[in-house]
Amino acid sequence: MAILQGHTSLVGQLQMSGNTLVTGGSDGSVRVWSLLSNQPIHRLAAHDNSVTSLQFDDARIVSGGSDGRVKIWDTNTGALIRELSQPAEAVWRVAFESERCVVMASRGGRTIMEVWDFTPPAEAGEVEDEERSVEMRGGGGQEGDQEMVDVEEEMDGGGAMLEAYSTGEDESEDMTD
């Protein structure tokens, strides 16, 4: 058994893959640990407040915090690659697979879901052949219960964002099909 020391307050987020463990704490830091040596590999000053969600793979770590920010880090070097999202009041959940990331957050009193594409935007003159859309469904199914916006915008560093959000009237909507 080993005791991994480093966070200065509650650790509420963790993910393990192979011999690597990534943790996020209420101290705002993200730590990458080697489970072979039981030592920290990287100490990231990730957020101004608690880390509320994180996920990693061989290339990147995506962290979300109660400071309303989503950040992408290089798993191997620990370097900040970029901020992914517009600042929000709080980020509740991040999840990614391949070249897409979903962010659940609170912005402007509404629950929002952003779907980000990590792939840099097409060069000028190229035509995108895939139409992207995202839908957020409520449990009631009544017209007017929710609002959907389909917006694609380019951000510094590449990638595109699509946004959908609820009206904020009922924050307890069932998000399943």
pLDDT value at residue 84:
82
* CA distance linking residue 128 with residue 33, whole number of Å: 40
* CA distance linking residue 139 with residue 142, whole number of Å: 9
pLDDT value at residue 9:
81
Residues 6+ away with beta carbon under 8 Å from 162:
114, 115, 116, 132, 133, 134, 150, 151, 152
Strands 160-166 and 29-34: unpaired
Tell me if 93 is assigned to some domain.
yes
Query: What's the whole-model pTM score?
Result: 0.71
Neighbour-count burial for 146-168, b at 16+ CB within 10 Å, e otherwise: beeeeeeeeeeeebbbbbbbbee
pLDDT value at residue 87:
82
Tell me if 173 is assigned to some domain.
no
For residue 148, what are the domain limits?
Answer: 11-126+133-166
Looking at the structure of the chain, the number of domains it has is 1
pLDDT value at residue 123:
59
Tell me if 89 is assigned to some domain.
yes
Tell me if 68 is assigned to some domain.
yes
Backbone angles phi, psi at 24, to 5 degrees: -130, 135
* CA distance linking residue 85 with residue 103, whole number of Å: 8
The CATH number of the domain where 29 resides is what? 2.130.10.10
pLDDT in tens for each of the 177 residues of the chain?
Answer: 778 887 878 888 899 999 999 999 999 999 999 999 999 999 999 999 999 999 999 999 999 999 999 999 999 999 999 888 778 999 999 999 988 999 999 988 899 999 988 776 665 444 443 333 343 433 333 333 344 444 444 444 445 555 555 545 444 344 444
Tell me if 122 is assigned to some domain.
yes
Q: Where are the beta strands (DSSP E) in 35-79?
A: 39-45, 51-56, 60-65, 70-74
CA–CA–CA angle 62, 114, 89 (5° rounding): 80
Q: Residue for token digits 């517009």?
A: 86
Tell me if 3 is assigned to some domain.
no
Tell me if 113 is assigned to some domain.
yes
Number of CB atoms found within 10 A of residue 127's CB? 5
pLDDT value at residue 90:
93
pLDDT value at residue 8:
75
Tell me if 4 is assigned to some domain.
no
